[in-house]
Amino acid sequence: MKRAHLASVAAISLTAAFASSAAQAEDLTLCWAAWDPANALVALSKDFEAQSGHKMSFEFVPWPNFADRMLNELNSGGQLCDLMIGDSQWIGGSAENGHYIKLNDFFDANGIKMDDFIDATVVGYSQWPKNTPNYWALPAFGDVVGWTYRKDWFERPELQAEYKEKYGRDLAAPKTFAELKDIAEFFQNREIDGKTVYGASIYTERGSEGITMGAMDVLYSFGFKYENPDKPYEMEGFVNSPGAVAGLEYYKALYDCCTPPGSSNGYMSEGIDAFKSGQVAMQMNFAFTWPGFETDANVGGGKTGYFANPAGPDGDQFAQLGGQGISVVAYSQKKDAALEYIKWFAQPEVQAKWWSMGGFSCLKAVTLAPEFPQSQPYAQTFLDSMAIVKDFWAEPSYATLLQDTQKRFHDYVVAGQGTAQEALDGLVRDWTENFEDDGRI
């Protein structure tokens, strides 16, 4: 089996790694979101318990409540969590506010090299300030927004013939957003196997981060930039550039033309449900959902295909980064034992097992192994997607920046208020005011 070979990449044995440890056994609590990867981590961590003598407990919170619950825990100096797998956007605030311990010396002392991890995950999950060698987390779970599609529908000869006659090209995974919209329109309100289906499920959720993650996934490839590359926090003409406006207009057009009824407040779980139930031909969602589709009774068994976020009108191609790093909480009374866990988790054979169990490893020894692209049907799409990622602000005030974005995007895309230009002009004003209050500009 290819997975078995992946699991053999370690340079040292796990037993040897902890044989010399004389540290007193501790009860450690790891905090994360409540989702399928967390369940896999519980199973994986049994190896750590057996080898270290420490006992692992877990505090998992559903995604809609995860940020509020855990950021409150950090801001209050709480000692519930010894280890935190916090969202990528938290890294700036957690570093500057002293919530996480800095890991540079620990990494150096234990031979953990950030060059061994996918570059984008190091920047996205570990560094603050960004693009500086200051590390506050170990990349733990690589994630990115990509797409699934009903490969079995796409392969039906009658649909292939009809599509080719209409559009002059084969019905296949889209390479551009223009092609994606054509396909979504082709499937919208079509009857398949006696059931009305729809073009695509996309993110529209208002309450947390959903519509931002979805719309940004499109805007990047249309030319959106968070700031002037040569002048930090200068946003006029970048956030609201003509390309960014066109991207937001596209996102609204896709929502208006090609989503199922009742799609005004959907995020990850709604997308999963829409795809598994056979409502949609294509679905935008984070990569963490992909293992579940492979084992699903309705869409598994080769019925699902995967593709990276398509290219925009000028050929630019980017995707919204998801995922998290694992950090030691500064308020923990068990920091040494928590650091043992990170040392264990960083080992190549643990990372290979993590991938085999449905976790998305960020370690190059796993993801760049020659057999990796064939290890899962979605493995190549994961690699392709992680090579083109961008991420939302990771500033300490990211939550306010996110709330502003959620409101502006939802008001325009879903509620139909104003224009895309007005929404993005307003966002420039919102963000400028925020950074002025923060003393950044």
| Cis peptide bond prior to 310, omega within 30° of 0 | no
Q: Return the structure tokens found at 410.
A: 């939802």
Interval 29-43: pLDDT, tens: 999 999 999 999 999
pLDDT at 402: 97
Task: Calculate the average pLDDT of the chain.
Answer: 94
Three-state DSSP state, 326:
strand
Question: Cα(150)–Cα(299) distance, rounded to whole angstroms?
Answer: 8
pTM of the predicted model as reported, rounded to 2 decimal places: 0.93
Of 105, 94, 99, nearest to 128 by C-alpha is 94
Quick check: 96 pLDDT over 70?
A: yes
Three-state DSSP state, 307:
strand
Q: List 198's β-bridge partners, or say none.
A: 280
pLDDT at 64: 86
Q: For the beta carbon of residue 55, count every other beta carbon within 10 angstroms.
A: 14
Interval 124-156: pLDDT, tens: 999 999 999 999 999 999 999 999 999 999 999
Q: Give residues with Cβ within 8 angstroms of 212, minimum separation 6.
A: 392, 402, 405, 406, 409
Mean pLDDT of 318-323: 97
Residue for token digits 């930090």?
Answer: 232
Of 437, 178, 435, nearest to 314 by C-alpha is 178
Quick check: 439 pLDDT over 80?
A: yes
Interval 216-264: pLDDT, tens: 999 999 999 999 999 999 999 999 999 999 999 999 999 999 999 999 9
Phi-psi region of 223 (alpha: psi -120 to 50; beta: other; left: phi over 0): left
- Give, for 322, the enclosing helix (H) or strand (E): strand 319-328
DSSP secondary structure, 238-293, as one string:
TTT-HHHHHHHHHHHHHHHHHS-TT-TT--HHHHHHHHHTT-EEEEEEEGGGHHHH
CA angle 423, 424, 429 (to 5 degrees): 100
Quick check: 160 pLDDT over 50?
A: yes
Structural domains in the chain plus CATH codes: 27-143+322-388 (3.40.190.10), 145-320 (3.40.190.10)
Answer whether 108's CB lies under 8 Å from 134's CB. Answer: no
pLDDT at 2: 33
